[in-house]
Structure 1
Amino acid sequence: MGTEIAAIVGSGVLAVLGLLLRSRPGRTGLWEVLGELARGRTAAATERERRATVLEVLDRLPTGGRLVEVDERGCRRTVEVHPQARRRP
């Protein structure tokens, strides 16, 4: 619940800033602020989905399995499941 309230308040603050900084030559306008807000939300949602997918895949990997991720920028992440990492309650 707290995250939703923070998102709403943050969105409101950005919208007010956008209105205060109306489009003038060399100034940031409302559409730029809203565009940046949309890009930020999209990036956050994409990262949450990536993390959830990684957790799901790691749970299904066998012992000694490896997960290799390469993002759009070419950054590579590798996670390997070691035998001691598997703990069954």
Structure 2
Amino acid sequence: MADIVAVVGPITIVVLTMLIRLRRGHGRIGPWEVLRELARGRSATAAERECRATAVEVLDRLPGGGRLDMVDDRGHRRTYHVSPRSEENP
């Protein structure tokens, strides 16, 4: 039963997409474009989480007064400054 669903599921999606395209015309957004954008959003979210986790690791290892400059693939720049540690609170 699972093998049948694994084959019929994608075929059903393709057929439904073609029917929607024929009915609505080619100028509108179809299900594949929506799925593609969802995948891009998930990828961007995962990449941002990884970037932030890496920044936390690096910032934990920087000495007091250190600085971390980051530039992402879109050209956005982020700068983090580590405050110097006071002698009273080591």
> TM-score category by the smaller chain?
0.5 to 0.7
Alignment root-mean-square deviation, CA? 2.6
| Runs of 5+ consecutive residues of structure 1 not aligned to the other structure | 1-14
Letter in 2 for 1:79: Y
Query: What does residue range 1-89 of structure 1 map to in structure 2 within 5 Å?
Result: 22-23=20-21, 24-84=25-85
For the residue of structure 1 that corresponds to 2:68, the secondary structure is strand
TM norm structure 2: 0.66
Q: Percent identity?
A: 59
- Structure 2 distance, partners of 1:33, 1:50, is 26
* Alignment TM-score, normalising by the size of structure 1: 0.67
Uncovered stretches (5+) of structure 2, i.e. residues with no partner:
1-12
Aligned with 1:83: secondary structure?
coil
Count of residues paired in the alignment = 70
The ranges of structure 1 where at least 4 consecutive aligned residues each deviate by more than 2 angstroms after the TM superposition are none
